[in-house]
Amino acid sequence: QYGGKEVLDQAIPAVLERHVAPREVLFDVKEAEVLVQEKTSSKLLCHYPYPTISCVGRCLDSSNVFAFCVAASPESPDGSVFDCLVFASSSEQECEEIIKRIAAGFKHTEWFV
């Protein structure tokens, strides 16, 4: 459904309640995209250009948990299908830095859309 930051308050707990086995990843915020790699092998798990990311924010209950929503099917006519990806950083400071860098990425790429 709608991919605005308002959904994060419900989406983050919903994702965490699924109890999916956590994976250790390397999270790389680039100038035009976000890359997620497997920590042990550096295998690229996914990459998201900023225009596909609809929002980013942190979890209110935990200072080191953050998430972003991505368009799951950008080709759909109304663009209303989103995935919420949830991550835990090693500290509150790191969490804030990642969120700020992704937010800055929105500004860097707004002219490309």
Structure confidence by residue, pLDDT tens digits, 37-60: 999 999 999 999 988 888 899 877
- Beta bridge pairs of residue 90: none
What pLDDT, in 10s, does the model give residues 8-36?
888 888 888 998 888 899 999 998 899 99
pLDDT band of 77, cuts 50, 70, 90: low
- Single-letter residue type at 107: K
The CATH number assigned to the domain holding 56 equals 2.30.29.30
* 72 pLDDT more than 90: no
Domain count, the chain: 1
Please give the residue range of the domain that contains residue 16: 5-109
- The type of residue at 20 is V
Distances in whole angstroms, Cα of residue 64 to Cα of each of 42, 74, 111: 23, 29, 31
Alpha helices in the chain (DSSP H): 8-17, 92-109
Amino acid (one-letter) located at 66: F
Average pLDDT over residues 69-78: 70
Say if CB 24 and CB 77 are below 8 A apart: no
Structure tokens at 18: 């699924």
